[in-house]
Amino acid sequence: MALHVIVGKGPVGLTTARELRDRGHEVRVLSRSGGVPAAGIEHRQVDAADAAALTRAARGAAALYNAVNPAYHRWATDWPPVADALLAAAERAGAVLVTMSNLYAYGRPDGPMSPRSPLAATDTKGVVRARMWQQALAAHEAGRVRVTEARAADFVGPQVPPAQSHLGRQLPALRRGRTAWVVGDPDAPRSWAYLPDVATTLATLGTDERALGRAWHVPSDAPRSQRAALADLAAAMRAPAPTVRGIPWAVLRAAGPVSPLMREVLAVRHQFDQEYVVDAAGTTATFGIAATPWAEVVAATAGRAPAAA
């Protein structure tokens, strides 16, 4: 089997590393902090913005995976050098570049988003992600490097730290029977990406030539609003049916001057105040990847809920 190199050891990187290892591949994870080999996965300390170091670490790799996760409010400054370095390293190493992305580049949707939807973002974060893909695709079309990209809805699953999950951060409140305060319209239909499905998609894109030269969506179950999803989680935890309310946008605006995170959330309000749904039919039809049944997602996610203090 082949060597696969993953840049970033957050939830996406580590879950994908385990998926590739379980498929029989040699796996190397690169991160700023490094680590010691564990469970058949090698760790090395490498700066994701250092193209030369990435190239050395990716020598002989079949695929290089971008699972980097800059701070939410630093995308405009932190993503461009990392994207440039990863693209250069993949080209020099002769590896396929597989990028983990999201739905920001589409901007405000007017229906379900597919990989063929226009990259119409006007906010800073969406424009950054669109430019990253356009740059990579141009290099692919010029014959310099082979690229593909996975785009996913908001993450859910026990592998995701609560602070990185709109649903996960509500588990303590659900457990205690308290009101769950969410961003945006609690009743807007949304897609959710189960992290093991994200890893399955990434590992498949990095090992199947049919993936090259285009983006693919991670399959998700039928849309569930935040209210419905949290009710499902509460039921799975045998907690009371939750009260779910949207945080008033005026409150978030008031926090903006002192909170970089809140300013960034306000800039992508369109992701929370209307339907935000993924169409991944192409991924399922081409690769046979289907979303994990929602009941299994709920059971696994609820199982990580902390006990009440």
Residue 305 has pLDDT above 50, yes or no: no
Quote the percentage of the chain above a pLDDT of 70.
98
Q: What is the dihedral of CA 249, 257, 166, 240, to 10 degrees?
A: -60
Q: How confident is the model at residue 255 (pLDDT cuts 50, 70, 90)?
A: confident
Residue 201 has pLDDT above 70, yes or no: yes
Which residues are registered as beta bridge partners of 192? 154
Residue 127 has pLDDT above 90, yes or no: yes
Q: How confident is the model at residue 306 (pLDDT cuts 50, 70, 90)?
A: very low
In this predicted model, what pLDDT tens digit does every residue of 133-166 receive, in sequence order? 999 999 999 999 999 999 999 999 999 998 889 9
d(CA 92, CA 71): 28
β-pairing verdict for 61-66 and 3-7:
parallel
3-state secondary structure the chain: CCEEEEECCCHHHHHHHHHHHHCCCEEEEEECCCCCCECCEEEEECCCCCHHHHHHHHCCEEEEEECCCCCHHHHHHHHHHHHHHHHHHHHHHCCEEEEEECCHHHCCCCCCECCCCCCCCCCHHHHHHHHHHHHHHHHHHCCCCCEEEEECCEEECCCCCHHHCCCHHHHHHHHHCCCEEEECCCCCCECEEEHHHHHHHHHHHCCCHHHCCCEEECCCCCCCCHHHHHHHHHHHCCCCCCCEEEECHHHHHHHHHHCHHHHHHHHCHHHCCCCECECCHHHHHHHCCCCCCHHHHHHHHHCCCCCCC
More confident residue, 119 or 261: 119
What average pLDDT does the structure give for the chain?
A: 95
Match 């063929």 to its residue by tokens: 116
| DSSP result, 73-84 | GGHHHHHHHHHH
Closest listed residue to residue 307, CA positions, set 161, 181, 166, 174 = 174
- Report angle CA 250, 256, 260 to the nearest 5 degrees: 145
Q: How confident is the model at residue 309 (pLDDT cuts 50, 70, 90)?
A: very low
